[in-house]
Structure 1
Amino acid sequence: MINSVNALPSFASIMFRAALKRDNHAQFPPTFDRLPHKSFLFTAANLAHFSKAKIERFHSVTHWQGTFLHPCYLHVVSFPLHMMLMLEKEFPFSLLGLVHIHNEITQYRPIRANEGCVFHCYFKDMKAHPKGVVFSIATDVRVNEELCWSSVSTNLYRDATLSAPEGKAQGASPNAQDECPQDECHYTGQKQESWYLGENVGRKYAQASGDFNPIHLTRVTAKLFGFKQAIAHGMWSKSRCLSAIEQAAPEIFEQSFNTQVQFIKPAMLPSNVQFTMCENSAETTQQNLATRRAFSLTSKAKHGANSSPHLSGELIAF
């Protein structure tokens, strides 16, 4: 069932409802074969008119210099629709404590800020996981009925009573959120940058994205949810990494590409992190050369300790 949405709800109203939602295991499908069939459709006749100030703030806080929209900005627009899906009565889980562990974006063609977009968000799948259950929400964005962008965001609901034994999970490997992408391709041309993440990064990104989750805002609000410090938004980290790749190879973002990341450990605010990018070309299934870039974000090691990984990902332009 597709439901059209005339206006996106405010994040404050969504967070209030999210705080009240409780687990409803009576709705849980024991065979992991279904999620609510409802989906949401939202039309932004002109993204720039819809949220010009937010677009500018988003591009500023993520250091984007590209001609077209940052590919992660469309995730920001669709995020309230994701929340609306999870707030449906038929959705079996509480929203508090969900962990965003993976994000995939496919750009079929770049989108300009003045284009009209139709967003369609829906549940994709649910799978057993050694730490609980993972489920995915998909988003398709069309311009004049042409599919231009799509994404899949995967979240982990932690519950030992629902988890699958290691080795029998239907999907990611037991420690998938802790692994770097493996590939037979040999990456070359390494590039590294050091970034300082100020304590206000979370608040700046919240103003641009509308995601005012307290764990990202201040040390005080983060402590209420068990964190010693505020932590950076995972999608800010991905967005910032893609901006760094764009500055090195802007032509990639003017064509089709796919990019996936695993979110591993949160980046504390403030902190110093290191961005690493490697590149190579590899054969696609059509025997055409595709440019690949593997990238990661880690915290610098202190006193001889191992570095702490925050995300690892890959971008393939085709």
Structure 2
Amino acid sequence: MTSTANPTANKNHLIKHLHLFTNHLFKILLGFIIVLPIIICVSYSLMTNEELMGTIGLRFLPKNPTFENYSWVMRTIPIGTYMKNTFIQCGIIIACQLAICSLAAYAFVFFEFPFSKLLFTIILATMMIPGDVVIITNYIQIQHWKLTDTHIGMALPYLVGGMGIFLLRQFYLTIPKELKDAAEIDGCSDMGYFFKVAVPLSVPALASLAIYEFIAIYNRYFWPLLVTNKDRMRTIQLGMAMLEGGEAGKTPHILAGASLCILPAILVFIVGQKYLVRGMTEGAIKG
């Protein structure tokens, strides 16, 4: 009996370890495929144009690394100004999104008011409308208010979004209603419960929304192009376009600019990835 059980146990143990090995190997290969373009971008940005043009196949380490391409980028475009403008946009929009969307989601979950389901359905419907459909009407309105070439003009159409309300509403649905009833018995007001209980519990969802919005704002190109005419108001994506347009340089120059451009987004994602995953998964528990 024992001799029969041991081979079976050993076989199951081997299958388990083989499954784990295959799983980890797949994740490593997938991660390498995702990171490979970034590695190539940084590597080629450290090459001279002559070395890059003479490179056959992939080469991850340049023969004679040089930072001259990065110096060229900083001399050619005011990348510090563009980064500052981008971060200002991120700060304005993310702060407003977190404040407005969290309050709206809180109202949808914890208050009963007429046409709440209809209103939430309309908010969900706005998520189905491509941004490019309304971008011209937004521009006409911003121009009418004389807000072109201003930070508030760039941020105004994005201060609230259906995605944020939906994400936070789904998260608030996971909070037991009995918790609010107990807080009310103890004399806690609606806003007191919001700030003392709901907001602290929803930090993962708020962080995931902030990261999602940061990446969206950071990669935004057409809207800043439309509402800015002055160089001092441009964002980093417009600066990258300049490296390929009127201020065009050679391929290593463009890759150096791209390496500088993607660095903040990568750092934000690395720091906040655990909140991003938790916020998305915990909010999906209850619909």
Q: TM-score, normalised by structure 1?
A: 0.21
Q: TM-score, normalised by structure 2?
A: 0.22
Query: Which structure carries more helix by proportion?
Result: 2
More strand by share: 1
